[in-house]
Chains A and B, each alone.
Chain A
């Protein structure tokens, strides 16, 4: 085929499809996520949660007087290059009211600085935990419902100290998320008076981690191993090598490791009572989490307790509420409205309670969304404090969850 003819054919196809108008009053939210790329398997359930939130809005009467809430996906691939491109598509081309995302901190940083902040668009990330996002000069436009690593790493360090550990070995996957937690974790643990015998980064995706395990085991006697990794990237392989070498008795981890496949692959008998995973979470006594878990299970066959799944729902639902509160699909009103509906005081709204929230907003009353991931009360920097729970492996091969007070 002649190149010009090929080009012409492509142009005609593009024109045909884009000529079809979206429903005029659709309210568009950008949904920027690493749908492909290195953490695609973690992002898929998060996207399902975002879509569920939009489905709840649409099933319960719609937004701004009966309009549909439409999520426009932009694939950020966990890469700053792709994130900027995806953000341009949703912000400049689709002219969304606000953006949910991105997931990876590097993607969120690039997207916010290059596109959403200059355009005056609010973004709410559901999984970015890097402290550098707090430091952005963002005109109150960048929010996140995932707690910063600073908080999570410190919480896990205190947990380890309270559990009686005095010396630890630290292993972490060398990506932005896990190395950040590991850094804060080690610093806090040393501050509390503990000893870190060794801190060993490793590259995800390798076949074997025997040499890293040997280096950690050889660095001196430690009470436990703190492992920060994504289960699919390196976590399971690393833990398998540790178990084979019988190098440590007790393991601590963060929510990148929280997946049933860890127990399925390595066996409940090997992990029961030995593996503790800390998770950004909701207070289990909080009705929101139970409500969300039930709704999520009803809609998908995925696990509502997966990493940042509840956060994905909350970020989307919060933005929908903020638009309803603002009373118009106007990006400049979202930031202030978001704080009003997320923070106390006000009538408590739980996941799925869209109709109730709309009625309250229409009546002019204050609402306070209590998310599945936590109370989601934003501080001055647009961050949340976070609530944590710990998961221990039972002999039956399940995770038993306890709140961490």
Chain B
């Protein structure tokens, strides 16, 4: 395999990983608790703009020049998303699924329009540019491979910022591979940590209470659970993860504008990923995200290759000019294909590629301390 193909596959996995963070967040809300959040784009935008404004070293027509460290900004991006989600949840968490969906669609649009119109803070539709990216500018010589010490790189980055952003030599292909690999490693690590934490949560009494609420609210309430508090927790937790996804996305793109919170690619696509992968299954959410993103991105390559094939000398069905015309039409193919896959999966595998697996009730230590949540959690098989 040549390096170009590897770098492309890494970019595919990086975006797949970012979508996996969003899908895991949605899984907490919809998969665990049954909250229909149709405003993923809004929380993503809060995270992305927080990251962009806090870390960008230059304030070109927007709030900024704070030059915060990247990891700290990512944490704050999560916190901001959680705060916004808390305020929203306080008002509309009691709405039943379809009403909550309508409310969240509205809220996501409001957030997008705020980012689009508050020019002083966000530079409006022009967006924020030159966002620092984790591991950007790392060279092989900067890393002490034995200890994993990155301080050489950190010095380089700050020097680069003071001299004018990007005023460092262009990376060689191997260095592009290194920086892309480190960034991908960070995304994978985040997905893994979230996965392990969510798996633990799912199997815990908290997680089983969530599925009890999802499956039968009245019964859960009768069992003495504070439904509203649990729904609020789940909504805020999911939204914080979406904010984290936005913070990683802002770094990866280095440029964000309100189009990043486009409902088609930031809300609808995440839903397709979760449904296709299997809602209420964390593995399913990750698998769905990576797979659907690969389809979303890969269909374009396939259609381009198909046109090259048809216009090649051996086949010769199309002239080069005709291939050019067809390539424009083929661009719409993937939107169609994503819809088709969703239809297919809903028809054939309504529970997704990896259906939900209920946690087995743990062996009871003694009959007296059996928590009631376990009973409600396992009533509906």
On B, residues with C-beta under 8 Å from A are 4-5, 7-8, 11-12, 15, 60, 113, 116-117, 124-127, 129-130, 133, 164-167, 170-171, 173, 176, 249, 252-257, 259-260, 262, 265, 297-298, 300-302, 304-306, 308-309, 312-315, 320-321, 324-325, 327-328, 331-332, 334-335, 348-349, 353
Interface size on A, residues (CB 8 A): 68
Residues B302 and A17 in contact, CB atoms below 8 Å apart: yes
The smallest beta-carbon distance between A32 and chain B, in angstroms, is 11
The smallest beta-carbon distance between A170 and chain B, in angstroms, is 14
- CB neighbours (8 Å) of A203 from chain B are 113
Residues A22 and B308 in contact, CB atoms below 8 Å apart: yes
Kindly specify which of A116-124, A158-166, A289-297, A394-402 makes contact with the partner chain: A116-124
Name which residue of chain B comes closest to A300, CB basis: B325
Kindly specify which of A173-181, A189-197, A340-348 makes contact with the partner chain: A173-181
On A, residues with C-beta under 8 Å from B are 1, 3, 13-14, 17-18, 20-23, 35-36, 38, 44, 47-48, 50-51, 54-55, 58, 68, 70-75, 77-82, 84-86, 88-89, 91-95, 104-106, 109-110, 113-114, 117-120, 130, 132, 135-137, 139, 174-176, 179-180, 201, 203
Cβ-neighbour of B126 out of A106, A136, A201 (below 8 A):
A106
Residues A137 and B125 in contact, CB atoms below 8 Å apart: no
Known: A22-B308, A179-B126. A79 touches B265 (CB 8 A): yes
User: Besides the contacts A35-B327, A93-B4, A176-B124, what 13 more A-B pairs have beta carbons closer than 8 Å?
Assistant: A3-B349, A13-B302, A17-B305, A73-B328, A80-B259, A85-B297, A88-B11, A89-B301, A92-B7, A95-B4, A118-B171, A119-B176, A174-B117
Residues B164 and A176 in contact, CB atoms below 8 Å apart: no
- 30 A-B contacts (beta carbon < 8 Å): A3-B349, A13-B302, A20-B309, A36-B335, A50-B324, A58-B321, A73-B324, A74-B300, A75-B331, A75-B334, A80-B255, A82-B265, A84-B11, A88-B11, A89-B8, A89-B301, A89-B304, A91-B4, A92-B4, A92-B5, A92-B8, A93-B4, A93-B8, A109-B129, A117-B166, A137-B165, A174-B116, A176-B124, A176-B126, A176-B257
Name which residue of chain A comes closest to B305, CB basis: A17
Main secondary structure of the interface of B (DSSP, over half): helix
Main secondary structure of the interface of A (DSSP, over half): helix
Residues B320 and A35 in contact, CB atoms below 8 Å apart: no
The smallest beta-carbon distance between A316 and chain B, in angstroms, is 11
- CB neighbours (8 Å) of B309 from chain A are 17, 20
Name which residue of chain B comes closest to A55, CB basis: B321
The smallest beta-carbon distance between A74 and chain B, in angstroms, is 7
Residues A55 and B324 in contact, CB atoms below 8 Å apart: yes
Residues B259 and A92 in contact, CB atoms below 8 Å apart: no
- CB neighbours (8 Å) of B5 from chain A are 92-93
CA distance A17 to B302 in the complex (A): 7
Known: A20-B312, A80-B256. A92 touches B11 (CB 8 A): yes
Residues A81 and B4 in contact, CB atoms below 8 Å apart: no
- CB neighbours (8 Å) of B259 from chain A are 38, 78-80, 104, 106
